[in-house]
Amino acid sequence: MATKDPVLEAKRYVENARTILREKAIKEDDLYTDRKYVKLAGHAAYTGVLVALDSFFGIKTKKRKDVNWYKEQLATIDTKLLGNFVNAYELLHLYMGYDGTQDVVVARRGLERADEIIHWVEQRTTTC
């Protein structure tokens, strides 16, 4: 079996999060109606961020690094990316994944940050 492209895998996680929000969390006005699915979507999207970053840093183990490890590494590479990561961590992992916030804007911003991080990794790992 061929090894999956980590960037494509990361994008798949984020797209799965969007699908969960659209089909299961059910948006009414500016809120999602079902916290359970917001939590699932937050966890999925944040996992996509970690898959992308792990591939960039060459991490092959399933055991995740602490969030502070990622922050320290990113601080030495790109401060804008660090800011996006901190936002993604807060929005996707904490607010959505743990708290189950039902705010549509929070979810949208979190997914945007995930996309930006994955795009950053893709730009630096794509071979021509």
What is the 3-class SS of 92-107, one letter each residue?
A: HHHHHHHCCCCEHHHH
The pLDDT value given to residue 128: 41
Assigned superfamily of 6-125:
Nucleotidyltransferases  domain 2 (1.20.120.330)
Residue ranges of the chain whose pLDDT lies below 70: 1-3, 127-128
Q: What is the pTM of this model?
A: 0.93
The pLDDT value given to residue 4: 83
The pLDDT value given to residue 127: 56
Give CA separation, 112 vs 2, 46, 66, 116, 126, in Å: 29, 11, 22, 6, 21
Structure tokens at 77: 């590479």
